Amino acid sequence: MRSEQSYVAELYTRLDVKRAQLKGDFKAALRGNGGTPMERDVEVRAIAKEVRRVDIADNGLCFGRLDTVSGEHSYIGRIGLFDEENDYIPVLLDWRAPASRAFYVATAATPENMRRRRQFHTRGRQIVDFTDEVLGRPGGGERGDAALLAAVNAPRGGEMRDIVATIQAEQDEIIRLDHPGILVIEGGPGTGKTVVALHRVAYLLYTQRERMERQGVLVIGPNPAFLHHIGRVLPSLGESAVVFMTTGDIVPGLRVTAQDAPEAARLKGSLRMVDVLAAAVADRQRLPEQPLPIRLGDVTARIDAETAEWAREEARASGLPHNEARAVFSEIVTWVLTERAIARIGRGWLTPEDRKAWEHLRAELRRELADDDAFTAALDELWPILTPEALLAALYTSPERLRAAGADETLLRADGDAWTVSDVPLIDELIDLLGRDKAADRAAELAAERERKAEAEYAASVLGSLTERPDMMDDEDHLLAQDLLYAEDLADRFVEHDTRELVERAAADRDWAYRHIVVDEAQELSEMDWRALMRRCPGRSFTVVGDLAQRRSVAGATSWDAMLAPYAAGRWVYRSLSVNYRTPAEIMNVAAALLAEFAPGVQPPESVRACGVQPWSRQVTEDELAAAIEEFARDEAGREGTSVVIGPPGVPGTVTASETKGLEFDAVLVVEPERILADGPRGAADLYVALTRATQRLGVLHQGPLPPALTGLAEAGTPAHQAG
């Protein structure tokens, strides 16, 4: 123990030296060695990012050691450290490095030329204990069971923890898989598919750092609670170039406030909506029922149906989005009107030889049309500038427009712009169909220019205040790295370039192209959701995580191939996880009985442990229900860890199963499972999710008869229940 502690202490000394060097580099970069403000800013950000990686590595810097059969030692940790005085020999291997792989995959049967795996248990910078696993001979375990079981039995906090010290062989194989396309990871509850996907991102950022960090990674999760739960995993591994969103967030500025009925969600999620939306746009490209008079000079020209139809055909044939094709439509109509007006105005006083006069008259008439309110109003009637939100809201509130677009009247609703999560990919589709409004873009550019000027004036005032108050800069060492800014560059930085971090810029930019996308709970995504995500990753580099047996969305996946083949035929691979690291065998047995009823062909994951506590049930009356929930909450408040009460919609003091997807709790109370089962076509999947959130204790309260699949639960008050 003493020698190991001494080695780890030396590693921390090296880490502290590296940190001090980086902070020195940071200050030097702030002062600048030539170059533009933008170049200096890039250098400052890069060093600051490395400082953050070093700071994060402080927690659990070294967590293991590998011994080869020849007696050589390798230490494994969160980052790599080198002996810079001895040809940069590694003194600590990054867990993602190829040489670290044996730490995760070596077993008694396949020792990978290793004799022993040692796993450290640390507190701060101190080694508290370690566990040895002898490899390659009888008696050696096939997994690092002691360390693994300690991790899975530990009380849960509010956020997911990384598993960098306890990655298992089947997980490591997926994390390091060299596949440039789409990787689907399927696994039942508790198999660690989410955390494996996140560690795969960390691995890709390690092996492809320049490309990955330049474009960033997008992680899609089912709800904000889930994103909060997983949000610290990648930062704890030193990675920050990651944007977290739900599918409802992918269009910046759009706010989801409503929820669709199942049939509406199913229709909106179908790829058939691509044709519906295209038809809805085409329906707004109209022909006049009566010729529209436009006064030009002393004559009146008319936009008739024949002219508008020619202009419409040319505009559509241009292949431009609707708003951009308006220029083609306008050009055709303008040509027809001016030529008709010229023929009448010039008759009698202009000869065919007066070419200059004809061109002058033509230019005058075109300018007159461009400024004519009646002509603009006619264009707005026949080929209006449209926004995605306005078009979709008008479609939803009009039976006539729904029929014209070939849409089902199930989509009809009173409040057109009460957006649901199923509307988001439709609005995203319309952004491409409609294109930009050039006038609005120009107005936005002018507004941005005014804002830049205001920021420059503010920067100048800050510079002036720093000059007048030099005492503010005296204690430089106490300023946070991210707050340090070399004063003379302040104003220039505001004006010259976007100073936001990649994550901020990507999240605010609907057109951002990510290098890699992770999709969790992917079975819930509709065809239209996938279409929207594919736009955001032209390279089709995805890690897809899900479990078809847990699907609750009527628009979700019933087959991975059906969802992915249209975009990456032959470029997606499938891997499965079969070991349940979260749910103890006692609870998984209950959930497996339910799974056998609603998905008889699906094999439940095998639990790696038992907890010794039997799940229980208790029948209560309506009057007793609230008190029973309070009793559970009171009991759990006195224990270490987390707990949750899951019930059907509308039961006070509970959350729904869909709100807990991807989350885990030490204790779970499921309320009225009979109502959860009856709530919609995917009620059984919801109940399955609810039953498999617990890592230690599970209780069930029911008013009506207990569903047959749950009759194996111990009744409250029995010895089995009291063991909890």
Give the residue numbers of the binding site.
187-194
Binding residues for ATP: 187-194
d(CA 395, CA 434) in angstroms, rounded, equals 15
In 3-state terms the chain splits into helix, strand, coil percentages (rounded to 5) of 50, 15, 35
User: What DSSP state is assigned to residue 291?
Assistant: P
Per-residue DSSP letters for 183-244? Answer: EEEEE-TTS-HHHHHHHHHHHHHHHSHHHHHHH-EEEEESSHHHHHHHTTHHHHTT---EEE
Name the nearest CA neighbour of 272 among 410, 406, 419, 420: 406
**Is the Cβ–Cβ distance between 314 and 332 less than 8 Å?**
yes
Radius of gyration of the chain (CA): 32
- Which tokens hold the place of 708? 């047959």
Amino acid identity, position 363: A
What are the residues facing 405 on neighbouring strands?
none
Name the nearest CA neighbour of 54 among 643, 481, 622: 481
Q: What are phi and psi of 546, to 5 degrees?
A: -175, 180
d(CA 130, CA 719) in angstroms, rounded, equals 36
d(CA 373, CA 379) in angstroms, rounded, equals 10
Question: Where does 254-321 have alpha helices with state H?
Answer: 262-269, 272-283, 305-317
What are the residues facing 643 on neighbouring strands?
667
- Which tokens hold the place of 323? 């708003």
Residues in Cβ contact with 252 at an 8 Å cutoff, skipping those fewer than 6 apart: 507, 508, 509, 510
What are the residues facing 114 on neighbouring strands?
68
Residue 467 belongs to what H/E stretch? helix 438-468
Longest dimension (CA), the chain: 111
CA atoms within 13 Å, Cβ hemisphere of 376: 6
Q: How far is CA 564 from CA 96, 528, 557, 684, in A?
A: 29, 12, 10, 26
